[in-house]
Chains A and B, each alone.
Chain A
Amino acid sequence: MLKRLRENKSAQGTLLVTPTLIWMIGLLIIPLILTAVISFGTRNADGGVIYGFSLHNYARLIGFTNDCPDGQASCFDSLYANILWRSLTLAFNTTILVILLAYPLAYYVARAQPKRRNTLLMLVLVPLWTNFVIRVYAWMMLLREQGVINSVLGWIASRFGIPFSPLQMLYTPGAVLVGMVYEFLPFMILPIFTSLEKIENALYEAAADLGANPFRTFLRVTLPLSMPGVVAGTILVFIPVMGTFIVSDILGGRQVILVGNLIQRQFLDARDPTFGSAASLILMIMTLIVTYFYTRKFGFGEEIIAV
C-alpha cells in the first residue's frame, strides 16, 4: 500500500490536497450554495425561510421597495444602493491611503541596515499582537468627545485662551476611514517591503550611473520593480475592507453603515436571512468584479505571494 503510494505521484497529490479540500467543501462551498439558495427565498413571519425562486431581495438591494410612503405598490429607495456604494468608495479610499502611508515606510525599512531592519519589521507587526476589536476600541478612546484628542486640543486652546468646543470625530465616515487605514496598514507594508528588499543596490547605482536623478530612478526603477508588492498589498487590504463590519460598527455607529453591517443586522437584528444572503452574494460579486479588473491590469503580485 505504502509502496504503491510512493510510486504514484498523482495519488500523492490527492493525499496532500484532500484535508484542505474537505475543509473547503464543508465550510466554504456548501455554505455558499446554501447562501445562494436562501437568497432566492422569502422570509416568513418568524424569521424562517420559505424556499422558492424570488428576485425580491435583489430588487430591494438595487432600490425597488414595496414599502412606499404614499401607498404606491412599488417605488425607488436608494438606501441599500447607497450602502453598497459607500462600502466600495470607502474600500477604495482606504486602499489608496494605506498605499501612500505604507510605501515610504516600507522603503525606509527595506533600505535600513539588516540588523535595524529586523527591529523595524517587528515594530510594524507589534499592533497585530493585540486583538483587532481592542485596537478599534482604542481609537474610540482617542476620538470620542471626552477622548484623548479632544482633551489635548482643549488644553492647548485653554492655554491660548481660545474658546473650544469638542470636535465630533467619533461616528463619522472619517473615523471609520482612520480606523480601517490603521487596521490594515501592516498588510500593505509587508508585501511592499518584500518587493523593495529584493531590489539589488546595484540597480539604483546603475540608474544613477546612466544619468537618472533620484526622482527619476524612483519612477523608472524602484516603483515598477516594487509594483508586485503594491498589487499583493492591495488585494490583501481591499477585499477585507469591503466586508468588515467591526470598524464601522464601533467607530461609525449608526451613522456609517457598510455592507458588512447590513448583512450582520439582517441576520441578527432584522431576522431576515434571505435579504442578508442576497447582500452577501452582492458583496462577493462586487469584490470579484473589482478584483478581476484590477488583477487583469496588474497581475496578482505573484512574485510576492510566492515568497
Chain B
Amino acid sequence: MSQLSEYAVELRNVVKTFKTPEGTMLNAVDHVDMNIKNGEFFSMLGSSGCGKTTSLRMIAGFEWPSEGEVFIEGKAQGHTPPFQRPVNTVFQSYALFQHMTVYQNIAFGLEMEKAPAEEIKTRVGRVLDMVQLNGMERRSPRQLSGGQQQRVALARALVKLPNVLLLDEPLGALDLKLRKEMQLELKAIQQKVGITFVYVTHDQEEALTMSDRIAVMSKGKVMQMGTPVEIYERPSSRFVADFIGESNFLEGTVQAINGDQASVLVPILMSEVTGLNLGNLKLGEKAVVCIRPEKIRISEQPAFKTNSFKGAVKTTTYIGSDTHVYVDVSGLTIKVWEQNKISSLDPKAYYSTAQNVYINLFPENTLILADR
C-alpha cells in the first residue's frame, strides 16, 4: 500500500442525482464531504433514504457521482469500474453465488486476481479460520444458516485483503442475539486485519458500539461527523441529538452568551436555563436547550437557584437497571432516567405518581443549540 494519503477514502463535494418516478430530480447524496482515515472503523448512520447506501455504492463503483469526486488511497476514482477498485463489499443480501460451494465463493475473488492455486488454498483456509467456518468448504450456501451465510459473504470480501472493506447493513437480516455477537466479532476482525471498514447502518446502537467515527446522515447530507462520544455528548444539531439516543428539548431565545456558557429564556418555564454554548448562538435568536434523560437529577428540594424546576411525577417505569421517570414541568413532560443504585423492595425507594419533585439541570451537562 502506497501511503500518499492519510485518508483511505475521501468524498469531496459529492452529489448523486436520481430521477424520481414522478420525473423530478432528487439529490440522494447532496454535496457530501467525508474523510475516512486509514485503519478506521467508520460508520454512515441514518434512516432509509438518507443517502448512506448510495454513498457506499459510489465508493464501490456501482454508482458514479453526478458531481464531485471519490478518492480511494488518494486517487480520484472517476468512472473506474468496481472490478478495478481496491475495495470489496459485503452485501446486505450477501449476494452469494448459489451455484458454487462455500470454498468456490471465497476463492472467486482470488481467481479473478489470477493468484496461484496454492496461494488461493492457503488464503481461503486462513480466512475460513478467521470467520470460524472450517469444515463448511464443500457446502452450498443454500445449506447454511443466515449467520453462516453472512460469514461467507464477509470471508469472500476479506480474503482479497482490500484496502477498504465496505459493509452495507451486513447484520440487518440476523436476529438480535446473533447481531450483537457479530458486532463484537466484526470489530475484533477489523482490529486484527487493520483494514479500513466503512459500515452502513440504520441502527444507532450498532454504530456506537463498533465505530471509531460516525457520519450521521439525513436527506443526502452529513449532519455530523465524529467519534461516538462526540456525536452523543456534543450533538451539533437538534436533529442529531434527537436521532442518537434520547433527549429533552426546551425551546427559547438566547438571553446571554458568556464564553462557553449561554442562557436561554424558555417561555414555557418562564425562566432562564443555563448550559453549554455549542456555538453558532446569537443573542435574541431562537435556541434549543437539549439535555439527556440520564443527566438530569431529581430531588425533593431545588439543588440550584437557577436550572431547577418544580414538577410532578407523571408516570414511572421500572426497567431493572433504571427507573424511567416522566415529570410534568409546566405542562412539558421531561424524561429522566434514574439509575437504580440501591437494591430495595421498598416502593418509597422509587418515585411515585403525583409526587412533587424538582428536576435539576447541571449547566455542564446541558447543551444549548442554535435552532434554525
Which A residues form the contact surface with B (CB < 8 A)? Answer: 200, 202-203, 205-213, 216, 220-221, 224-225
Contact = CB atoms under 8 A, between A and B. Distances in A.
B221 interface: no
A211 B112 CA distance: 6
A220 B108 contact: yes
B160 A210 contact: yes
Interface in B59-103: 60-62, 81-83, 87-89, 91, 93, 95-99
Contact of A210 (B81, B93, B98, B108): B108
Nearest to B89: A209
Contacts of A211: 83, 109, 112-113, 160
B62 A205 contact: yes
A203 B156 CA distance: 13
A209 B62 CA distance: 9
Residue with the greatest number of chain A CB neighbours at <10 A, chosen from B96, B98, B112, B160: B112
Contact of A205 (B95, B96, B108, B112): B95
A85 to B, nearest CB: 36
B95 A212 contact: no
A288 B97 CA distance: 33
Given A203-B95, A206-B89, A210-B109, 19 more contacts: A200-B95, A202-B91, A202-B93, A205-B82, A205-B91, A206-B156, A208-B62, A209-B82, A209-B83, A209-B89, A209-B157, A210-B157, A210-B160, A211-B83, A211-B112, A211-B160, A212-B83, A221-B97, A224-B99
A256 to B, nearest CB: 40
A216 B114 CA distance: 12
7 contacts: A202-B93, A205-B91, A208-B82, A209-B60, A210-B160, A216-B112, A225-B99
A206 B83 contact: no
Given A202-B93, A202-B95, A203-B95, A208 B81 contact: yes
Interface of B: 60-62, 81-83, 87-89, 91, 93, 95-99, 108-109, 112-113, 156-157, 160
A220 B112 CA distance: 10
Contacts of B82: 205, 208-209
A221 B157 CA distance: 17
Contacts of A205: 60, 62, 82, 89, 91, 95
Contacts, number: 58
Contacts of B156: 206, 210
B18 to A, nearest CB: 14
Contacts of B91: 202, 205-206
A223 to B, nearest CB: 10
A45 B245 CA distance: 100
A200 B60 CA distance: 18
Contacts of B61: 208
A120 to B, nearest CB: 20
Contacts of A208: 61-62, 81-83
Contact of B88 (A202, A210, A220): A210
Residue with the greatest number of chain B CB neighbours at <10 A, chosen from A202, A205, A210: A210
A208 B156 CA distance: 13
Nearest to B81: A208
Contacts of A206: 89, 91, 95-97, 156
A210 B97 CA distance: 12
Contacts of A216: 112
A209 B83 CA distance: 5
Contacts of A213: 81, 83
A110 to B, nearest CB: 17
A286 B112 CA distance: 42
A206 B88 CA distance: 9
Contacts of B99: 224-225
Nearest to A216: B112
B97 A203 contact: yes
Contacts of A220: 108
B40 to A, nearest CB: 21
A206 B57 CA distance: 12
A112 B336 CA distance: 55
B264 to A, nearest CB: 49
A211 B89 CA distance: 11
Contacts of B88: 209-210
A180 B208 CA distance: 65
Nearest to A205: B62
Nearest to B99: A224
A257 to B, nearest CB: 43
B101 to A, nearest CB: 13
Contacts of B157: 209-210
B62 A210 contact: no
B220 to A, nearest CB: 22
A205 B85 CA distance: 13
Nearest to A202: B95
B99 to A, nearest CB: 5
B112 A212 contact: yes
A210 B60 CA distance: 11
A205 B87 CA distance: 13
Nearest to A224: B99
Nearest to A208: B82
A34 to B, nearest CB: 45
Contacts of B109: 210-211
A207 B62 CA distance: 12
Nearest to A204: B95
A287 B97 CA distance: 34
A268 B89 CA distance: 67
A205 B88 CA distance: 11
B277 to A, nearest CB: 46
B300 to A, nearest CB: 59
Residue with the greatest number of chain B CB neighbours at <10 A, chosen from A200, A209, A213: A209
What 5 pairs across the A-B complex have the smallest Cβ distances? A211-B112, A210-B109, A202-B95, A206-B95, A208-B82
Contacts of B113: 211
A287 to B, nearest CB: 29
A205 to B, nearest CB: 5
B160 to A, nearest CB: 7
